């Protein structure tokens, strides 16, 4: 999480409240190795500002001295030719390697003149001298584009242009002009967070006051290194252009994929059978998995219980709840009691697993049964009284463990039977993640981002990639990967790449969101639309009139497991006209009493957690019934250069 926050805070901020329209720097190389600098920055302010900032790199010198700042009253004056009467002194404060000059400005243009000295900036060797100055670095101090940049170096003595070498490390194609006294570097723009650095290799004979030491590499080797670097930068620029040419095609492919999936979704809506008869005669568990597209929730086992009931392997009736529920006015008076029947109905492996998980004998002569309230936790009254009933959390943990094992087996059965498949999302997610991960990392390499940034993104993205690949249906993992990649892409220096990545990554995320967790068979697709029509009908029209108790119970089961809205009021209306709901349609009876047995069971588990958190370890009672018992009544700093304002 810390690394994610780091990425978010490192995102470039494309400020437009002020601009730096021109930068002219003139540096005099001193015979003792110091560098005396005059700098002119031209600002255009939009809004109210109080000071300007000049951050000086901390590398390649032994310190900054004699730093002064002035407002330049003659904006056309060039460094080295500034008259004293055109200067107005500004108060300067220092914070780390940044110098702030007080300069009130509001919706106007201002020109600032900086003067300072870099100690021992030149490294003088026996065979040559080396001067490297990273004027504007890749850190947060360089948070603004610098336009029309000119950098002049003045030698202490005349040097023939053929006797020294000058190099510009810059993202843009700059220009170098050499003469015997001055070498000039120009670049149209120094983009924010990008390096603008100069290097001079010249004879040490002009450094008359500086001690010479042995060179770490020969002059020829140093020049060869610069040529290799220049070749690499040119190659990276060419590859960036190739990548910029390829990314729109990738985006188009992903957009086409989105269009195809939306079209298929629209066509699927036209496949509804238009009849509720097929839906009412379909296995409730099949309907549950089709509606959820394989996503598991708390209604799965309930759908499976009624699946046993409707196929004749079990029966269901209403039974009195335990005494502790009877004493709670918010608790139901009745519960659903499922009992297995002696029948030769063939059962699938997952149904046998459900039976072994839930059904137990409630007495010596009784048949295997499952009473829903025996799995319940604390009642609302017990929670309000802050009573601690030990064992409820363990009961819930055992229930959830059994539920997960059974759900996995049931989903495997549905996929093995050809009802649904997750092959598409399992194929598409790794492909999308691999494309985005590769493109972002490749862009980092071509755009010369720091190794730290590449390593940070690689670690975070690789972890999220692995998590998403393990379970593609877990939306948050994949979406978090896309979010991190999007933030990481915004850190690129190349504005064109940033724009294209800002389109590509959301397109990939949209394609993922449009990809269903499960693709359905043709029969299942028709049922999926029948479910949608069923939910729509119940929401708008309620239940159809004149249903028999048997039909009403089927509507009740499907209304609950398919999460239809406004079904409860419909059951209340029908219950008023039917006297035999209690025995003939137990679930419909409970719904007419405004009781959702599954939701209430979940609520008791939540209340159990609250009681455990709020209660002390003493003074509580113990529910000795175990899990399924009989009803016994118990229940940092930036070292790079830059300029700015605030």
For residue 216, pLDDT beyond 50: yes
pLDDT of residue 70: 97
Same domain, 88 and 185: yes
Buried b (16+ CB within 10 A) or exposed e, 394-403: ebbeebeebb
pTM of the model: 0.70
Output the pLDDT for position 278: 85
What does the alpha-carbon distance between residue 561 and residue 284 come to, in Å, rounded to a whole number? Answer: 8
Whether 432 and 347 map to the same domain: the answer is no
Residues of the chain with pLDDT > 70, as a percent, come to: 86
pLDDT band at 462 (very low <50, low <70, confident <90, very high): very high
d(CA 282, CA 348): 16
Residue 610 binned pLDDT confidence (cut-offs 50, 70, 90): low
pLDDT at 17: 82
pLDDT, tens digit, for every residue of 248-295?
Answer: 999 999 999 999 999 988 887 776 656 678 888 999 999 999 999 888
Does an H or E element contain 581, and which?
helix 581-584
* Predicted pLDDT of residue 618: 39
Q: What is the mean pLDDT of residues 105-119?
A: 95
571 has a pLDDT exceeding 80: no
Mean pLDDT is lowest, of 128-132, 299-303, 610-614, for 610-614
31 and 123 share one domain: yes
The answer to whether position 640 is within a domain reads: no
Structure tokens at 317: 């009736």
Report the pLDDT value the prediction gives residue 242, as an integer from 0 to 100: 92
Return the DSSP state at 373.
Answer: G
Q: Determine the pLDDT at residue 157.
A: 95
Long-range contacts for 432-436 (Cβ within 8 Å, ≥24 apart)? 432/254, 432/508, 432/511, 432/512, 433/465, 433/468, 433/469, 433/478, 433/481, 434/465, 435/250, 435/508, 436/481, 436/482, 436/485, 436/504, 436/505, 436/508
pLDDT at 300: 92
Residue 62 contacts residue 111 (beta carbons within 8 Å): no
Enumerate residues 6+ apart whose C-beta is below 8 A from 506: 482, 486
Query: Whole domain around residue 76: which residue ranges?
Result: 16-216
In a domain, 4, yes or no: no
The total number of structural domains in the chain stands at 3
**Would you state the pLDDT for residue 273?**
58
Same domain, 195 and 139: yes
pLDDT at 390: 61
DSSP H or E run through 185: strand 182-190
By the 10 Å C-beta count (0-12 exposed, 13-18 middle, 19+ buried), 421 is classed as middle
pLDDT higher than threshold 70 for residue 620: no
Q: Are residues 401 and 434 in the same domain?
A: no
Predicted confidence (pLDDT) at residue 12 exceeds the cutoff of 50? no
SS3 of residue 459 by DSSP: helix
Q: Is residue 197 part of a domain?
A: yes
Q: Are residues 22 and 156 in the same domain?
A: yes
> In sequence order, what DSSP letters do the residues of 379-390 get, joined into one string?
-HHHHHTT--EE
| pLDDT tens digits, one per residue of 346-392 | 999 999 999 999 998 766 556 788 988 888 888 877 777 766 566 67
pLDDT digits (tens, 9 = 90+) for 624-636: 333 333 333 333 3
Across 174-188, 225-239, 515-529, 579-593, least confident range: 579-593
256 plus 201 within the same structural domain: no
Q: What is the pLDDT of residue 19?
A: 94
Give the full edge-to-edge strand order of the sheet including 642-645.
92-95, 98-106, 48-55, 642-645
Owner of token pair 């940092």: 636
Is 646 part of a structural domain of the chain? no
Percent over 90 (pLDDT), the chain: 53
* Domain annotation covers residue 530: no
Give a yes or no: residue 645 inside a domain.
no
Tally the C-alpha atoms within 13 A of residue 240's C-alpha that lie toward its C-beta.
Answer: 23
Any domain includes 139 = yes
pLDDT for 498-542, tens place per residue? 999 999 999 999 999 999 888 899 888 888 888 988 888 888 887
Average pLDDT of the chain? 85
Residue located via tokens 């055109």: 86
DSSP 8-state assignment for residue 545: S
pLDDT (0 to 100) of residue 387: 67
Q: Under a CB-based contact definition with an 8 Å cutoff, are residues 534 and 562 in contact?
A: yes
Residue ranges in 348-474 assigned as alpha helix (H) = 349-358, 380-384, 392-416, 423-446, 451-470
* Same-domain status, 462 and 321: no
Question: Based on the domain organization, do 394 and 379 belong to the same domain?
Answer: yes
- Residues 414, 441, single domain; the answer is no
Whose structure tokens read 């605030």?
Answer: 646
Whether residue 48 is found in the same domain as residue 147: yes
Average pLDDT over residues 224-249: 90
Query: What CATH number should be reported for the domain holding residue 38?
Result: 2.60.40.1730
Tell me the pLDDT band of 439, cut-offs 50, 70 and 90: very high
Are residues 497 and 542 located together in one domain of the fold?
Answer: no
Residue 453 banded pLDDT, cuts 50, 70, 90: confident
Alpha-carbon dihedral 95, 75, 28, 146, rounded to 10 degrees: 60
- Domain membership of residue 636 (yes or no) is no
Q: Of 485, 516, 547, which residue sits at a domain end? A: 516
Instruction: Please indicate whether residue 157 or residue 631 has the higher confidence score (pLDDT).
Output: 157
């Amino acid at each position: 999480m810390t690394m994610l926050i780091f990425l978010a805070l490192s995102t470039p901020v494309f400020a437009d409240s002020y601009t730096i329209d021109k930068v002219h720097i003139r540096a005099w190389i001193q015979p003792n190795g110091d560098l005396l600098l005059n700098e002119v920055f031209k600002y255009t302010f939009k809004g109210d500002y109080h000071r300007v900032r000049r951050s000086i790199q901390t590398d390649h010198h032994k310190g900054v001295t004699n730093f002064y700042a002035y407002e330049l009253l003659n904006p056309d004056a060039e460094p080295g030719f500034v008259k004293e009467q055109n200067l107005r002194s500004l108060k300067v404060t220092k914070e780390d390697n940044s110098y702030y000059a007080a300069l009130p400005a509001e919706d106007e243009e201002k020109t600032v003149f900086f003067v300072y000295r870099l100690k021992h900036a030149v490294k003088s060797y026996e065979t040559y001298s080396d001067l490297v100055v990273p004027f504007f670095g890749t850190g947060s101090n360089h948070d603004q584009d610098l336009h029309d940049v000119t950098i002049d170096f003045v030698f202490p003595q005349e040097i023939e242009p053929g006797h020294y070498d000058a190099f510009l490390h810059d993202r843009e194609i700059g220009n170098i002009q050499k003469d015997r006294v001055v070498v000039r570097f120009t670049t149209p723009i120094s983009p924010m967070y990008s390096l603008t650095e100069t290097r001079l290799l010249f004879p040490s004979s002009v450094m008359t006051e500086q001690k010479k030491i042995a060179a770490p590499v020969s002059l020829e080797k140093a020049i060869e290194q610069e040529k290799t670097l220049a070749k690499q930068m040119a190659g990276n620029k060419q590859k960036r252009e190739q990548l910029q040419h390829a990314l729109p095609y990738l985006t188009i492919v992903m957009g086409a994929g989105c269009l195809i999936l939306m079209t298929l979704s629209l066509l699927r809506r036209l496949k509804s059978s238009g009849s509720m008869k097929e839906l009412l005669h379909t296995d409730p568990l099949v309907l549950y998995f089709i509606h959820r597209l394989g996503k598991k929730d708390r209604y799965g086992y309930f759908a499976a219980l009624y699946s046993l009931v409707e196929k004749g392997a079990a029966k269901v009736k209403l039974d009195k709840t335990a005494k502790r529920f009877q004493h709670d006015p918010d608790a139901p008076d009745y519960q659903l009691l499922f009992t297995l029947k002696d029948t030769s109905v063939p059962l699938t492996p997952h149904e046998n697993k459900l039976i072994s998980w839930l059904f137990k004998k409630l007495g010596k002569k009784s048949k295997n049964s499952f009473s829903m309230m025996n799995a319940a936790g604390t009642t609302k009254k017990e929670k309000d009284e802050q009573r601690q009933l030990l064992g409820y959390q363990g009961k819930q943990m055992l229930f959830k463990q059994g539920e997960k094992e059974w759900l996995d087996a049931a989903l495997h059965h549905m996929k093995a039977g050809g009802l649904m498949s997750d092959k598409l999302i399992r194929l598409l997610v790794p492909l999308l993640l691999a494309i985005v991960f590769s493109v972002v990392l490749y862009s980092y390499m071509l755009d010369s981002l720091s190794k730290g940034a590449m390593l940070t993104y690689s670690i975070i993205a690789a972890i999220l990639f692995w998590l998403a690949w393990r379970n593609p249906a877990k939306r948050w993992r994949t979406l978090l990967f896309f979010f991190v990649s999007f933030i990481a892409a915004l850190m690129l220096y190349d504005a064109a790449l940033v724009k294209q990545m800002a389109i590509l990554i959301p397109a990939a995320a949209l394609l993922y969101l449009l990809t269903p967790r499960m693709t359905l068979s043709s029969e299942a697709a028709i049922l999926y639309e029948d479910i949608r029509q069923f939910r729509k009908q119940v929401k708008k029209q309620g239940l159809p009139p004149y249903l028999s108790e048997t039909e009403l119970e089927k509507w009740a089961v499907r209304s609950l497991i398919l999460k239809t809205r406004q079904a409860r009021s419909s059951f209340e209306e029908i219950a008023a006209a039917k006297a035999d709901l209690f025995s003939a349609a137990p679930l419909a009876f409970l719904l007419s009493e405004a009781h959702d047995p599954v939701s209430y069971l979940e609520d008791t588990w939540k209340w159990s957690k609250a009681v455990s958190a709020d209660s002390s370890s003493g003074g509580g009672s113990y529910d000795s019934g175990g899990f399924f018992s009989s009803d016994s009544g118990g229940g940092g700093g930036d070292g790079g250069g830059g300029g700015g304002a605030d």
